[in-house]
Each structure stands twice: as C-alpha cells, then as structure tokens.
Structure 1
C-alpha cells in the first residue's frame, strides 16, 4: 500500500514536471513567434519607407496615391471642427498642398518611366546581340556567333557609346564618323535625316559651340539611331523580338475600313476615352459584367479619384497562385481572378477580418481553402491569419492529409460553419455570373446549404 502511494505520488510529480516543461517550451515558442512577427513588421515598414522615397513600379505609386488620399481625408476631418471661415481657408491651403504633392509624385513618375524605358531598350538590344545557343549530342551547350549577331553587337555598342556623356570633343567626332560609316547607304527618310544630323553636330563641334546647346541635337541622333537599329531590314536579329503591332483602330472610320471579322472580335470600345482598342488593353475582372474602361483610363481614374492600393490584395492572390502551382492545379479559378476581385472577396464577403480571430492586418491574412481536398474557389476559402491557416490544415490529425467536414464542424462549431456557408453562397452568387467562372460552379455541384434550418440552393 505504501509502495502504491509512493508510485502514485512519483507519477503525479512527473506529470507536473512534464506540464511545466511543456508550458515553458510553449512560452519560448510564442516569444520566438512574436519576435519574428515584430521583425517582419519592422522590415515591412522599412521597405515601404524606401518605396515611398524611391518609387519605381506601379505598386509603389499606387501606395503613394493611397497615402496621399488618407492624409487628405485626415486633414478634411480636422477642418470640420473649425468655423466656416477658417475651414474655407484651410481647405484652400489643403488643395494647394495636395497639388504640390501631386506634382512631386508626377516628377518621380516621369523619372521612373524614363528609367524603365532605358532598361527596356537595353534588354532588347542585349537579347538581339546574344549568341545562339546550340546543344551538342554530348549534352554540351555552345555559343554560335553569326554575322547577324555580330552586327547586332556592333549596333548595341554604338548605342551605349552614344548615350555616354561627352568628355572630349575629339572622341565624339570619331564616334560620329564611325556611326556614319556604320549606317548603311539607303534612301529611306530615317537614314537621310540621321546623316544630316551627324554632319550638323560635327559642324557645330568645329565651330566650338558649347555642349549644352547641342543636348537636343544629340537626343535626336540617339532616337533616330534607335529607330534605325530596330528595323529588321538593317538589323535582322531583332525580328524575333519585335512585338506584333495591332491595327490602328483609334477612330470609328478606321474600324469600319477593317473588313476582317477576326480583328473586329478582338477589339473593344473604351467608354472613358471613346477609343477602339485591342482586348489586351483591358483588364477583364471576374466580377465585372462588361468591359467599360481600358487599362490606361482605369489607372488615370485611380490616380485622380479613387486612389486605391491593391498591392496587398495582389500578394494574397500571388500566395493562392503559388499554392495552386505547388499542387499542380494550373486550371484553378485563381488564375482568372484579378486584384480587384480579391479586394471584393476580402472586403465585401469577409469584411477584411479573419473569420476566427478578427485579425484585420491584411499583411498577415491569407485566403486558405476551407475543404483542403477540393480546389480553391471563392466559395471554398476562408480568410484567416497565417498561423490560423497552419493550424487549419492540421485539424484532421497526424494520420489524415486533410481535415474532413466532421473535423471542421467539431473545431469551429455549427454556428461558425453556418456563417461561413452563408459567405460562400454570397461569393458563389457574385462570381458565378460570368462564363469563365460559371464553369467552376457547374463542376462543383454543391449540396443544399442549411442556414439556420432553411435550405438554400446556391445558384
């Protein structure tokens, strides 16, 4: 009897010690996760600060316009507490400050466009001058230089030399003479004008004119030379890298002259700028009923009026696409949706909060699959945090790949399952309106969803 009491006491102490060890390990794990989360937040703030100082991409400028709109709304709200005269003066000053900030953003945008254009030209010329790769029977790769690639390399080197700043006028004169000999004799307008400008600059240099007065002339020479080397007749290597130009359909008269039925099927009317443009110029959203505005008009409207930042929604969409690619499901509806569709799904369906914890940090949220064995669809997802998504995948236990419906019902409870089912019905009704998404609705073939005792058949 005494031995049994001693054994029971030892077992109880052992359990207490094990519980303390587990608790201490859990605290260490939580502290480590909190530290990692704080480091991610700090790193994100530093990245966003750098993006604001040196904006380069479309997402950077969208973030700038979004922050400008938030600042304007804060200033507007602070002016409402003042009297009418002070409020009017404050609004006038606010408009002037907003105009100055917009001017600064536009200067950054112009600079970013010029840099992007120069990078695109450099990449284009580099691709054209790249030697041809050939694989031997032994599996070895060799580079083959042809007369076309050597000519493209010479054109590329000349373009880089023309872009450099002039230090010695003698080197500039030699470069222009070399350019004149490199350009083929032809009666086309570009060649004639290029030779004329080369002679004019040499004449100006001989007259000892300052370089500042020849900036426009040198820019014209560079642009004409770029037109020359982009012509496949003079640079055959660029033929496979040039884009196929769409027919000019900027007016109704020109569109009527186009007799090809296939061409008419591939064009749409932009209701904002009233131009007929190729369908590639439009972003067709899954939630939109028709094509109303082209990509340029949408961007202009966003910069001037709405000022939305869809970069976080793009990250959500990219995370979904990455998971679908890992599962070899390239036919997923995630590859049809746009950032605006994810924004509608997050804001209108899930209220921009985690359905489990109410977390509203979009950077930490994920649109995870609800039923993990089925493909991702707007009506088979839940908005949760990254940690909640990790736990959600393990609800089935160690012996199960994916949690079953019974596991989800046991973990979330019937009330939360009903709320999620209702949101899925709203998403199905919204995204199932167009043909590209209705295919997935038909293939899904859902059962009748029970909401508070009432059977609802999703459309």
Structure 2
C-alpha cells in the first residue's frame, strides 16, 4: 500500500514538472495532489493552479542584484500597480481651475526669477567685497613698501623724518627690553651699548643726509631756473591756454641751458672750451666785480686745459666757475625774470617790516621761516630749529598728517563753493585736532591707522571748518557724504559727542584772529541752510 502511494505521489510530481515546462498561456499548468485533512489521510484531490507569465521584460526601477548569480530583485513599489488618487469632486478643466493653474505657474516662475536675481546680486556683492579687500590689501602693502623704500633710500626731509621716527621706536623697544630683563650693572652696561649703537646710527643717517642734500640742492637749482624760463600763460575765453615768450623768458632760458651744460661732467675738452668761451662772452656784457672774477677763472681753466692738466685737478676750479655763474644768474639786473621768484626782495628796506629774531639760533629771519601755533602769543623758534629739536628729542614723523591735509584740501576744492578755512589751517593745527580732539581714531569704527583716515564735512551743505568736520576712514567717509539727514542716520548720543568735539575745536581756533573772524560767516551759512 505504501509502495502504491509512493508511486502515485511521484507521478503527481512528474505531472507538476511537466506542467511547469509548458509554454505560457496554456490554461492549467499544474495538477497538484493535496492531502485533505477533513477526508482523512487516505483521500486526495486535485487543485488547479493557474500561472500567468509576462509577455514583456520589466524595467529595472530599483532594487538589488546578486553579483554571483546575476539575479535581480526588484523593489516592491516597482512591481505593484500605483494607487489612484481619490477624486476631489471638482472639474479639472473649467475656467476657474485653469486660471488657478496659470497663477500657480506664474508665481513659481516669478519667485524663481526673484531668487535668481537675489543670487546674482549676492554673487556680485561677494565679488565686489573680495575685490575691495584685495584692493585695500594691495594699497596697504604698497604704502608699507613705499615707506620701507623711503627708509632705505632717504632723499627728502620727510624721508629722514620717517628714518628718525623708526630709530626712536627701536630705541624705546630696546630700552624697555633692557629694563625688563636686566638689572644692576648689567642693565647699565646694556644701556651704554645701546647709546653707542644709537650714536652710530645717527652718524650714518647724517652721512646719508649730506649726500641727499647735495643731490637735492642741484635739483632745486635746476627747478628754480626752469621756473624762471617758463613762458607767460593765461586762459582764453574758450578755455584754451595761451603761451607767450618774452625777451626776459628767452634770456632766462638761455642762461638755464648754459648753466645745465657747465654743471655737467665728463664732456670733451673741445666742447668744454667752447662752452667757457660762450660763458665769457655772456658775462662780459656786464662789467662788475663778479663778472671780472668769472672771466679770470675761465681764462685760468682754458690755460690749464691747454697744458693738458688732469681733470681731477680742475674739479675745484670748475665748481667755483659754476657757483659764480649761478650767482650771476640770480642777479635781477642780469636776469630780470628771477626777481619775481627770489625770496629775498631786491630792496633791503622791505625786510625790516617783517623780520623776527629766533631765540634758538639767534638769527634774524623773515616771518615765513617761523611756525606760528594757534595758542602762541610770541614768535618762537624757526623751522630749522624746530626740525633739529624734533630729530634730537621727539623724532616724530608728520607725513601722515600732511597726506590728510592734502586730501582734505583736494576734496574741498572739488566742491567749488569758495571754501577758505581749509586753506588757512596749517599742518600743526590739523595735527593738534587729530591727536587731542579726535584721539587719532575714527569716530565710528575707532580705526587708528592714519594712512586710512580722512577728514570730511560733518554737514556737507556748509563749508568745512574745524567745527564742521568728522574724522572717518575712507569707506566711512564715502557713506557719510551720501547721507541726507544726519539726525535720522545717527543716534542722539553720537551726535552730542561730535558737537562736543566741535566746541573744543572752536575754542582752540578762537585764539587765531583770522579764524575768529570766520566764526560769524559759518554761523550765517548754518542759519541760511
């Protein structure tokens, strides 16, 4: 019995295997023998299982793949029919629905445009900020490099002021280091060594200064003579500049060319001899003691040149001829154009009206050689004595204050509103304002870099004055000048602080009679505005 059942069961599984190999779409594919628990273990019946085979290959919409067998397993979502959205109960193709859809799409497009515009503005703003940052960094590096170059190769007075200022900063740092780290005899020895090193540096600066003075003196002489030789200029009604040479300017130009040639070195002897003969003929037109001396020196050099004397032995004689010829050029009788440029007037009686005594160098000098501070009641030391005192004691550099004053005057000239006070304020006055009133820092950001600070008008409708100004950085000044209402832009406490600084400046400049006379003019402008 069991053998018969086994044979029957195996025949059923054989039929099942044959059914699985049938082609798709042939109805019943399997007759499976199942055991019915209700009818007992000896009763069996057939169950029909229908197999549906797809007629297309499903696309791979996500899932997993066995690397060994290559069998693909799809996600459940890719093998089920998507759910249908429930009906909303509204007609999708009516006029109202279409208007809503159009508005939705338009608003989406408009919002996208706004976002793209904001992104573009942000990109441009960030690019501008990066460019401005690079520009500021480059300007600062250029200033530092220029300052370093001026310290290494000093030529002007301001260059040497920077050099002395750097020397003083170094001395203070070294003194502080010695006082902090040493004591007793070691401290005294270190301070003595520092003093000797400072003395050597001062002597080195002095040697550089002598060489620079020699070069600057020659440049100053050529500039002076070139200024005398300039033609007359005036502006015509159409704005064009008209130039005209006179007999005096032509004479000055001729003397300039002769002096430039005679001051040159390493020229052939033939050209030098012809040049000396030209100078001899020029000065011989006017007979005086100076011209006679020049003629004698010229004859002596021509005689020595004919004897083939070395040029190194003629150097002193040639310098003397050049100096005397320059003295000849500066006499208004021989060069009339020079009378308008000479600091010393031809008439000595005019000097007595405006001459003061310097108590330091004990010399009588014109009033232009004395600095007159706002709080001064008497004439003090001359410019040269003040300069020597600064190099010996304080060693301050005034280049930054001069740059601020130049920028201020340039900006005020651009307004073209007949500004006068800014051209009466001197460098020492501006320095007092920046140091004592404004504290050497910006009123807004407290920036203390004087190279980046400028002075502008507090109220741009009124003329600049010490009581109508504010110290800001360049960027802050540009933004300040664009304001239309200061009361709305700044807080009341900030405005009160600025007004207090203006009162202090007004009190300081009231000591100058010329400045005091301009107070009423500024008050009238303020009332008119």
Equivalent residue number for residue 328 of structure 1? 416
Structure with bigger RCO (C-alpha 8 Å, 6+ apart): 1
What are the within-5 Å matches in structure 2 for residues 39-50 of structure 1? 39-50=138-149
State whether residues 354 and 385 of structure 1, in contact with CA within 8 Å, keep that contact through their aligned partners in structure 2: yes
Equivalent residue number for residue 369 of structure 1? 457
Equivalent residue number for residue 405 of structure 2? 317
Please, which moves more after superposition, 214-223 or 148-157? 148-157
Equivalent residue number for residue 379 of structure 1? 467
| Separation (CA, whole Å) in 1 of partners of 2:356 and 2:413 | 32
From the superposition, tell whether residues 141 and 100 of structure 1 become closer, same or farther in structure 2 (CA, over 3 Å): same
Q: Are residues 1:188 and 2:269 paired?
A: no
| Separation (CA, whole Å) in 2 of partners of 1:150 and 1:340 | 41
Q: Are residues 1:418 and 2:499 paired?
A: no
Cα deviation 1:23-81 (Å, max 9, x = unaligned): 33332222121111111111112221222233222222222221121111111111112
Cα deviation 1:372-391 (Å, max 9, x = unaligned): 22221222222211111122
Equivalent residue number for residue 251 of structure 1? none
Equivalent residue number for residue 319 of structure 2? 219
What are the within-5 Å matches in structure 2 for residues 43-442 of structure 1? 43-81=142-180, 82-129=182-229, 146=247, 151-184=251-284, 188-245=288-345, 266-395=354-483, 403-407=484-488, 411-442=489-520
From the superposition, tell whether residues 186 and 19 of structure 1 become closer, same or farther in structure 2 (CA, over 3 Å): closer
State whether residues 375 and 508 of structure 2, in contact with CA within 8 Å, keep that contact through their aligned partners in structure 1: yes
From the superposition, tell whether residues 15 and 310 of structure 1 become closer, same or farther in structure 2 (CA, over 3 Å): same
| Separation (CA, whole Å) in 2 of partners of 1:150 and 1:318 | 35
Q: How many residues align?
A: 423
**Normalization by structure 1: what TM-score?**
0.80
| Separation (CA, whole Å) in 1 of partners of 2:422 and 2:234 | 37
Please, which moves more after superposition, 295-304 or 124-133? 124-133
Q: CA deviation at 1:367?
A: 1.6
State whether residues 66 and 307 of structure 1, in contact with CA within 8 Å, keep that contact through their aligned partners in structure 2: yes
| Separation (CA, whole Å) in 1 of partners of 2:287 and 2:107 | 105
- Consecutive unaligned residues in structure 1, runs of 5 or more: 249-257, 396-402, 447-459
Please, which moves more after superposition, 8-17 or 289-298? 8-17
Equivalent residue number for residue 24 of structure 1? 123
| Separation (CA, whole Å) in 1 of partners of 2:321 and 2:481 | 62
Equivalent residue number for residue 455 of structure 1? none
Q: CA deviation at 1:196?
A: 2.3
| Separation (CA, whole Å) in 2 of partners of 1:263 and 1:141 | 35
Q: CA deviation at 1:342?
A: 1.5
State whether residues 231 and 243 of structure 2, in contact with CA within 8 Å, keep that contact through their aligned partners in structure 1: no
Please, which moves more after superposition, 164-173 or 366-375? 164-173
Q: The residue matched to 1:357 in structure 2 has which SS?
A: coil
Q: CA deviation at 1:273?
A: 2.4
State whether residues 313 and 342 of structure 1, in contact with CA within 8 Å, keep that contact through their aligned partners in structure 2: yes
**Normalization by structure 2: what TM-score?**
0.71
Whose Rg is larger?
A: 2
How large is the Cα RMSD of the aligned pairs? 3.4
From the superposition, tell whether residues 276 and 239 of structure 1 become closer, same or farther in structure 2 (CA, over 3 Å): closer
| Separation (CA, whole Å) in 1 of partners of 2:242 and 2:462 | 43
| Separation (CA, whole Å) in 2 of partners of 1:91 and 1:389 | 46
- Consecutive unaligned residues in structure 2, runs of 5 or more: 1-95, 525-529
From the superposition, tell whether residues 276 and 238 of structure 1 become closer, same or farther in structure 2 (CA, over 3 Å): closer
State whether residues 271 and 292 of structure 1, in contact with CA within 8 Å, keep that contact through their aligned partners in structure 2: yes
State whether residues 259 and 322 of structure 2, in contact with CA within 8 Å, keep that contact through their aligned partners in structure 1: yes
| Separation (CA, whole Å) in 2 of partners of 1:137 and 1:388 | 40
